[in-house]
Amino acid sequence: MIDKRLEQILPRVQKPARYTGGEYNEIIKDKAEVDVRIAFCFPDTYEIGMSNLGMKILYGVWNAMPGVWCERVFAPWGDMEDEMRGAGIPLYALESGDPLAEFDIIAFSLGYEMAYTNVLNMLNLAGIPLYAADRGGLTPLVVAGGSACYNPEPMADFMDLFLIGEGEDLNCEVTELYRAARNAGWSKAEFLRRAAQIPGVYVPSLYEVRYNADGTLAAMEPKNGAPAHVTKRILQNFSDAYFPVKSIVPSTEIVHDRVVLELFRGCIRGCRFCQAGFIYRPVRARDPKKLIEQGKEALADSGYEEVTLSSLSTSDYRPLNELCDGLLDFCEPRNVSLSLPSLRADNFSMELMERVQKVRKTGLTFAPEAGSQRLRDVINKNVTEEELLNSCRIAFQGGWNGLKLYFMLGLPTETDEDVVAIAELAGRVLHTWREYAANKSRGVRITVSTSCFVPKPHTPFQWEAQVTMDEYKRRVTLLRDTMRARSITYNWHDPDTSYIEAILSRGDRRIGAVLEQVVRTGGRMDAWDEYFSLQRWLDAFSACGVDPAFYAYRERGKDELLPWQTIDTGVFPDYLWRERESAYRAEITPDCRRACMGCGANRLLKGGVCDA
């Protein structure tokens, strides 16, 4: 649905099909039969947002509610934004083409911190006041959910409320309460006071924040009956949960242009750096027969030529063989391919890879994360060198001639020996190729990538200092100078983005002013190298009198009040501390399948038993 002004703009911008809607399976409702309109905003491009499984699920869930119409909104790329501002076109939703200001609820899906600035920029482009306090009425209600809300504080001043945890039920409950509030004529304050009583809802304005003289948090005191801790919501019966069999098929190409099946939520592994591994607990799997049916239906409905299996660690799905067999029976005669991401180097099976990817043995990726066994034990990445090399051997024997290895630099306790061990490991992978490659004539390409470790909230490393950017660069140089083989390529990510990410992910409410300043000075699309500017961020910190090093480079004490302490993931904070101590002793913790270590997340399930 587009108007004349847009029609003149669209031929001038890159990939105009991102801004038009009209795709197959888009949901159009009769406005006369709709009383709650939701603008579901993804603070990144169409191609990224349309690839997001959470968006697909919640779009379906919301639109299944009678009287509710949920539409999609994405962040325009710079050229489109400039054109829209130039023509005075406010940000609009793709389905109806209506500006955001006409909607009841504006809901952001926040998956990563570097998208925070896009949220503010989108509100600004919609002509909606950024600060919750400046939006006096009940409408529009601006809310956010997603994994970057597990520390809601940096965005606390902008959001009316946060939806913590899985949204399938929670979003509907909040929507119903909004409807009741509007029908009864409640004030915004009255609505928020009641919304805070819904489990999983965090209303930031209901918490009084005080700081100590040293800048650390002194207290976050709930008022008006808000809970001291907001426990994340999870689906009790994930296997039977809604799955979007009919979902929008973009007319233009997106990043993950395929059917996505979600095998399970949570992860049994407990890698100590991994936020997803903790916040998505407890483990709950979906029945393979159900997945096969859903996969077939979704493929038939969409016409997609590829289906992929998604979860934090696909090869840990117990009935993986049964699932793949069932899907392949359907896929093979129809020229549909099945792809398996997130394989672990320790249980990589050639047979499985052969079956699912009959074509193009171009690239394979493993993520040992650290070079030495000691450091892998520290982070609890329970992959041994032997297992990794064994997987490499199988891959090389099977004809693969390209391998990517991902590592982090700056992990807690890392020494120069650990850094050099990355080069040694890459060298042994190369040696394995020389020894076992099925066909050496084509050569081999081993790519080593490093990024700078970002300590995340709700992980055992949430108290850690990040290494400085200079120190990261020193370690990069050390590694680069050690890695000499011609078949090994070394790519390192700039530490700039990781530094800002470290500040945002463990920030408190004082970061809000910085975000606003960044956006005011032209910041947006900070997850994209084309747009990110470290200097702009540094200028904003100094303009706001906020010390970035306080957030990135400072080790927190055991008793320090952490800004995200109000959010309860189900995992005991004591458990995280114990895991941290184990890390410093380089002691590994067995995965959840081998032994339950009592993290506490099982308490979220009725009956209290995980499906590890």
Residues at the contact surface with another protein, assessed by CB under 8 A: 2, 7-8, 10-11, 15-17, 19-24, 249, 251-253, 257, 299-305, 334-335, 359-360
Residue 19 Rama label (left phi>0; alpha psi -120 to 50; beta): alpha
CB of 18 to another protein, least distance (A): 9
Q: Which of 401/505 has CB closer to another protein? A: 401
b/e for 544-569, b at 16 or more Cβ within 10 A?
Answer: bebebebbbbbebeeeebbbbbbbbb
CB of 6 to another protein, least distance (A): 10
Beta strands per DSSP E along 431-533? 445-452, 488-492
Contact 124, 130 (CB under 8 A): yes
CB of 34 to another protein, least distance (A): 20
Q: Which of 173/257 has CB closer to another protein? A: 257
Q: Can you read off the two tokens belonging to residue 529?
A: 């190298």
CB of 361 to another protein, least distance (A): 10
- The sheet carrying 68-74 orders its strands as 68-74, 36-42, 105-109, 141-145, 161-163, 201-202
CB of 118 to another protein, least distance (A): 23
b/e for 500-513, b at 16 or more Cβ within 10 A?
Answer: bbbbbbbbbbbbbb
CB of 22 to another protein, least distance (A): 3
Q: Which of 10/53 has CB closer to another protein? A: 10
429-433's contacts with Cβ under 8 Å and 24+ in sequence apart are 429/388, 429/389, 429/392, 429/403, 429/405, 430/485, 430/487, 430/488, 432/389, 432/392, 432/393, 432/396, 433/392, 433/396, 433/401, 433/403, 433/487
CB of 33 to another protein, least distance (A): 20
Q: Which of 253/417 has CB closer to another protein? A: 253
CB of 268 to another protein, least distance (A): 35
Q: Which of 16/319 has CB closer to another protein? A: 16
Q: Which of 258/506 has CB closer to another protein? A: 258
In a 10 Å sphere around its CB, with 0-12 CB exposed, 13-18 middle and 19+ buried, how is residue 472 labelled? buried
Q: Which of 402/427 has CB closer to another protein? A: 402
CB of 428 to another protein, least distance (A): 31
Give how far the C-alpha of residue 445 lies from the chain's centroid of Cα atoms, to the nearest Å.
Answer: 29
How many whole angstroms separate alpha carbon 468 and alpha carbon 466? 6
Q: Which of 228/300 has CB closer to another protein? A: 300
Q: Which of 260/312 has CB closer to another protein? A: 260
Query: 3-class secondary structure for 158-176?
Result: CCCEEECECHHHHHHHHHH
